[in-house]
Structure 1
Amino acid sequence: MTKEEIKKAAALKYDEEEDRAPKVVASGRGRVAERILEIAKEHGIPIYEDPDLVELLLKVDLGEEIPPELYKAIAEVLAFIYSLREEGHRS
């Protein structure tokens, strides 16, 4: 397996009432990333693919809020996910 083929994943949690910013609750490469993706699929959690963004999220410690420089990118991801949920409610 080449370096490009190794899966990478990060999972975020965001509670608007409790958190100032989304937090990284899981991240990893290889088998850990595969398991993160499996769990997301099992629970119907949307998966958003962005190789550059996941590289940046892998640098954030578990349980830590994302840094301010990632706010815009993560806001776009959240908007995408919310739009998927809206479409699901209309179906």
Structure 2
Amino acid sequence: MSRQELKEELKQSEGDPLVKARMRSLAMDRSRRRMLAAVPNASFVIANPTHYAIALRYVREEGGAPLVLAKGKDLIALKIREVAQEHGVPVLERKELARAMYDIVEVDKMIPQEFYRPVAELIHFLDNVSRSRAPGPS
């Protein structure tokens, strides 16, 4: 093949809508798998009962705001909840917060400042629950 023919073939393969759609599909699939693999590392999951789920990681010693490990809608949200429950990650149902956060937060980024207070309240709640369940000194 001549150089010109190679260029034309490359243009056709990149420009083909079917090829582009398949590449996007593969990228989304990889992204979903990576998100679901990160859920066991989450501190907790904020969820709307069936439509939205956001897995957050917060470790006080690491500092900074909570990190979004995964987020999903509908079937992906259910899968996030399922993986979280399998690994003992608390799932907190907060409809309004889950809906508000879903549209704004990005995976692998810290939560925006506007969500600090409600998320801090959830972290405080989880700390209190874990302290009350922990056996006291004898």
Same fold (TM > 0.5): yes
Question: Identity percentage over the alignment?
Answer: 33
For the 8 Å contact 2:51–2:77, the answer to whether it is kept is: yes
* 2:96 counterpart SS class: helix
Give 1 or 2 for the bigger CA radius of gyration: 2
Gaps spanning 5+ residues in structure 1: where? none
Q: Choose the corresponding residue for 1:61, options 95, 106, 109.
A: 106
Structure of higher RCO (CA pairs closer than 8 Å, 6+ residues apart): 1
- TM-score of the pair, normalised by structure 1: 0.85
Q: Distance in 2 between matches of 1:33 and 1:18?
A: 27
Q: After superposition, give the CA deviation of every residue in 1:41-74 in whole Å (9 maximum; x if it has no partner).
A: 1111111111111112212110111111111100
Q: CA RMSD in A?
A: 2.0
Query: Structure 2 length as normaliser, TM-score?
Result: 0.58
The unaligned stretches of length 5 or more in structure 2 are 1-47
Aligned length: 88
C-alpha deviation, 1:76, in angstroms: 0.5
Determine helix, strand or coil for the equivalent of 1:24.
strand
Report how far residue 6 of structure 1 moved. 4.7
